[in-house]
Amino acid sequence: MTTVTRPWFTDRPIVERSRYIARVLTGHGLGALVDGTGLARFAPRLRRGQGQRIAPAVRLRMALGELGATFIKLGQMASTRADLVPPEFLVELAKLQDSAPHVPFEQVARTIEEDLGRPVDQCFQRFEPQPLASASIGQVHAAWLADGTPVVVKVRRPRVVEETERDLEILDRLATWAQAHTAFGHDYELLPIVAEFAYTLRNELDYIREGRNAELLGKAFADDPSVWIPGVHWSHTTARVLTLDRVGGTKVSDLEGLDRLGIPRRRIAENAVRMFLRQLLELGFFHADPHPGNFFVQPDGSIAVVDFGMVGRVSEPVRGHLLRAGLAALEQDPESLAEELFALGVAGKRADRAAFVRDLDHLIGRYHGRSIGELSAAAVTRELSGIAFRHRLQLPGELAMLLRVVSMSEGLGLVLDPGFRYLEFASPIIKKHWRGTHSLRAGFSRLGRAAADAADLGLELPRRAGRLLGRLERGELELNVRHEGLGRLATELQDMTNRLALAMILAASVVALGVALGFQGGAGFTPYLRWLFALGFFFSLAFGVWVLASIWATRRR
């Protein structure tokens, strides 16, 4: 794929920010990253090679933390991409904590008043000035509505949208440069990764969208007493202010507190995993940040969930491919497993299919004979990601996020109960869902939808064909042809043509020297002509040797 290099920045704030990024990266001894992203132009005089006593992964984590919200989120996203990032970097980037200094209460109150149209003391019966938590995008305060309902209020930090958009613009330019000038950028499609990251981050900046995520999950689990999703107070919610029911209970990581409640921890683990599987299999929409701090156990054993800024979506076709891939793995069929992974977009045109199938066969062989209770979802996920990394494959973003959530949800179950077997518990649920989606009733339902679609297409087909023929008659249709691999062929043809032209010039030179020698004769040469003839002879000889060497080198390649 040919990438067109986009022009660099002319906007002064972006240039200054780029210089700051280059300075921070270089200060942490990451000069190779500066060179590999096109930032070297902003750091020509900076010292390189600092901080070499610290591991590169640690230095990268420290640098991203220093660069602020966008780069912290970028590092957290990169920690989920085992297909792109070496293992030692995955572990270190996962340690990035999204925290920031508190925003003064006066600024928080100003944001609330601007968005809700009233002062804080008129919007809320009581509002705690001291935040419960403060992150790079916003901070959370405890409050009470006029009727006494306890709530939490998330307020976005001032200017965070403008700063994030500036950093996203820089990341887009860096990805464009790297894709055009580096081997890593050539092997991977960096621009779609940056675009997906930008989409996710912009969603986190929009609290209305986060409120809708919470509302969607709340409706989905309204009939499930084991899950509690806080309600959204839309009268007190805007793009910069989000007001939710306050969640109480005991954090799932507080094992002593859970024991005091007298609720079996195995039951809590099963509730948590069942909740995730229902999101994945039935909704195709899941909470994508299942770390222990986002789950609270209520006195009745139900689980309350918070923080809906990061969610994932898995389409129905992708779910189908994932289920079939799982069945292929259970049946020890590496060819079918590879086929499903190809269908998911894991293996593109760069993949060596035979080597890929062979590695999958080795992976399946390592687990042959083990019961499903002995398998670890996180371990299998790591090995699959390792195969993708070795083959320079690129997982679709939704699949990378899903694999991360699977590993984290298994980790949550093990925190609650070290003897919990994730796959053993999940397998009957997945099989039941598979049977339900492939039952006779479900088949008739899909057949009915397909028949309705075919009928609609039949009714629309004459009209669409008429429009197509009309455009063809008016000459409005254009045919765009995308070629793959012709660039190298064109280069080779150009080289061949150049060598042919040079050979013709060489032949003409030899003929000219022969004619001159025949007309003048060796004895009739003046000293001047003798030197000119000798110079022409040695030039032709060197030229001929060079042409022959070039042809030989091309033949060896």
Task: Provide the annotated active-site residues.
Answer: 289
Residues 6+ apart with CB under 8 A from 504: none
Computed on alpha carbons and rounded to an integer, the radius of gyration of the chain in Å comes to 32
Provide the residue type at 504 as one letter: M
Side-chain-facing half-sphere of 557: CA atoms under 13 Å? 7
Strand-pair category, 295-297 with 241-245? unpaired
CA-to-CA separations, 77 to 161, 164, 260, 324, in angstroms, rounded: 19, 15, 36, 27
Cα separation of 154 and 309, whole Å? 11
Q: How far is CA 238 from the centre of its chain?
A: 28
CA-to-CA separations, 410 to 91, 191, 249, in angstroms, rounded: 17, 31, 22
Contacts of range 259-268, beta carbons closer than 8 Å, 24 or more positions apart: 261/297, 261/299, 261/301, 263/297, 263/301, 265/416, 265/417, 266/416, 266/417, 266/419, 266/420, 267/301, 268/297, 268/301, 268/303, 268/416
Strand-pair category, 138-144 with 250-251? unpaired
Cα separation of 101 and 112, whole Å? 19
Determine how many CB atoms are found less than 10 A away from the CB of residue 176.
21
Give kind and range of the element (H or E) at residue 388. Answer: helix 377-390
CB-based contact 74:64 (threshold 8 Å): yes
CB-based contact 131:102 (threshold 8 Å): yes
Please choose, from the candidates 179, 172, 100, the residue with its C-alpha nearest in 3D space to the C-alpha of residue 136. Answer: 100
Alpha-helical (H) ranges within 394-439 are 397-416, 422-437
Side-chain-facing half-sphere of 184: CA atoms under 13 Å? 16
Cα separation of 538 and 510, whole Å? 11
